[in-house]
């Protein structure tokens, strides 16, 4: 998709990464996405003394998406504490899949790619429509 300001998205990810709460892993993550109405939503990881319930940066991002008016994600990037682009974990790719706009792009360590390339054959909302035995 033309016209995406990837530098602005990266800058937003870098900024929010500094807000991460990561006393256990010491691995901050910042995530930023462009929404189809032009706003940018962000999130940072928030860990917990009960390690398994820690929240990935993408959890915060999709929460902010909903809390600020919803919409669809057009472009996404996330970074680590060294400001390197990282791949979202598998669970977070699923979170992003729920809110992707058609043609959503994701920045990866191997460049900008269509989202479908990083979560092929995704299970999504439409799959629930096909279940009729109830």
Q: Which is nearer to ligand THU, 74 or 78 (CB)?
A: 78
Cite the annotated binding site for Zn(2+) by residue number.
Answer: 56, 89, 92
Question: Which is nearest to 62 in space by CA: 78, 82, 48?
Answer: 78
Distances (CA, A) of 41 to 53, 98, 108: 22, 15, 18
**8 A C-beta contact, residue 87 and residue 79:** no
Here the tokens at position 86 are 């990282």
Q: How far apart are CA 22 and CA 40, in angstroms?
A: 23
Q: Is residue 58 annotated as part of the catalytic site, yes or no?
A: yes
29 is a site residue for ligand THU (CB under 6 A): yes
Who contacts 86 (Cβ-Cβ below 8 Å, separation ≥6)? 29, 78, 79, 80, 109
Min separation Cβ 113 and ligand THU, Å: 16
* Binding residue for ligand THU, selected from 42, 45, 64, 77, defined by CB under 6 A: 45
* Binding residue for ligand THU, selected from 10, 88, 107, 119, defined by CB under 6 A: 88
61 is a site residue for ligand THU (CB under 6 A): no
Catalytically active residues are 58
Binding footprint of ligand THU on the chain (CB under 6 A):
22, 25, 27, 29, 45, 47, 54, 56-58, 88-89, 92
């Amino acid at each position: 998709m033309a016209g995406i300001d990837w530098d602005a998205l990266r800058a937003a990810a870098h900024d929010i990464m500094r807000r991460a709460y990561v006393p256990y892993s010491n691995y901050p993550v910042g995530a930023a996405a462009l929404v189809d109405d032009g706003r940018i939503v962000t999130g940072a990881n928030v860990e917990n003394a009960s390690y398994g319930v820690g929240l990935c940066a993408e959890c915060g991002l999709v929460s902010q998406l909903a809390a600020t008016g919803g919409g669809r994600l057009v472009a996404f990037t996330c970074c680590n504490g060294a400001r390197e682009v990282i791949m979202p974990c598998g669970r977070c790719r699923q979170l992003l899949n729920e809110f992707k706009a058609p043609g959503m792009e994701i920045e990866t360590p191997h460049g900008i790619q269509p989202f479908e390339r990083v979560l092929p054959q995704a299970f999504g909302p439409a799959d629930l429509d096909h279940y009729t035995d109830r």
